[in-house]
């Protein structure tokens, strides 16, 4: 599978505009899932700032975009067990940044229907992180009301991407829309 570092979800009839606008930031490709694209942005922070500027100048300029989720870590997997092993390793790398903070995991699963549950994977990663934080003496807590951080997990078939988003980032880039 080709490299990707962002999942783009489109609103109805937004494909042509998405390809035109988002294509300026890097290669973009269709997936086998309705209104879901994968892209490899050349400069993710620059893309986010440019999209924010576009939205500020003309809120309708991003009307094609339901949401975009850049990811900092991506991998492929063939089984739920392989997914959990790789996701576990990535998530544990964020323990220091979650120390004493509120957070939750939000997964958008596309594919592996009947083989993998997004809700079960969210709970798995939530528990993993809570236990790791407790072991370090810096307990965190799960909340869905204005959390300090959200861990985004996106899957598109056998591809997965994960990223950690702090509240300030989500406020700065409202088009990310994790919840």
Query: 51-110, pLDDT tens digit by residue?
Result: 999 999 998 999 999 999 999 999 999 999 999 999 999 999 999 999 999 999 999 999
Judge contact between 70 and 44, C-beta under 8 A. yes
Which pTM was predicted?
Answer: 0.94
Judge contact between 150 and 163, C-beta under 8 A. no
Instruction: Give yes or no for residue 123 having a pLDDT over 70.
Output: yes
Structure tokens at 137: 């003496």
At the top level of CATH, the class of 73-172 is alpha beta
- Each domain of the chain, given as residue ranges in start order, spans 6-70, 73-172
Query: 132-158, pLDDT tens digit by residue?
Result: 999 999 999 999 999 999 999 999 999
């Amino acid at each position: 599978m080709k490299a990707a570092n962002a999942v783009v979800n489109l609103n109805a009839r937004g494909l042509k505009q998405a390809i035109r606008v988002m294509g300026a930031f890097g290669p973009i490709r269709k997936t086998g899932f309705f209104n879901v694209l994968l892209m490899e942005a050349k400069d993710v922070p620059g893309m986010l700032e440019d999209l924010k500027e576009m939205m500020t100048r003309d809120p309708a300029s991003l009307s094609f975009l339901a949401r975009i989720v850049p990811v900092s870590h991506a991998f492929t997997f063939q089984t739920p067990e392989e997914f959990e092993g790789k996701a576990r390793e990535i998530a544990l790398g964020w323990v220091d940044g979650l120390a004493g903070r509120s957070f939750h995991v939000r997964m958008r699963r596309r594919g592996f229907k009947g083989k993998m549950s997004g809700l079960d994977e969210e709970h798995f990663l939530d528990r993993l992180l809570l236990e790791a934080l407790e072991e370090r003496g810096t307990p965190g807590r799960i909340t869905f009301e204005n959390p300090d951080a959200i861990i985004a997990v996106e899957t598109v078939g056998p591809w997965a991407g994960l990223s950690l988003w702090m509240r300030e980032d989500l406020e700065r880039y409202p088009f990310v829309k994790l919840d």
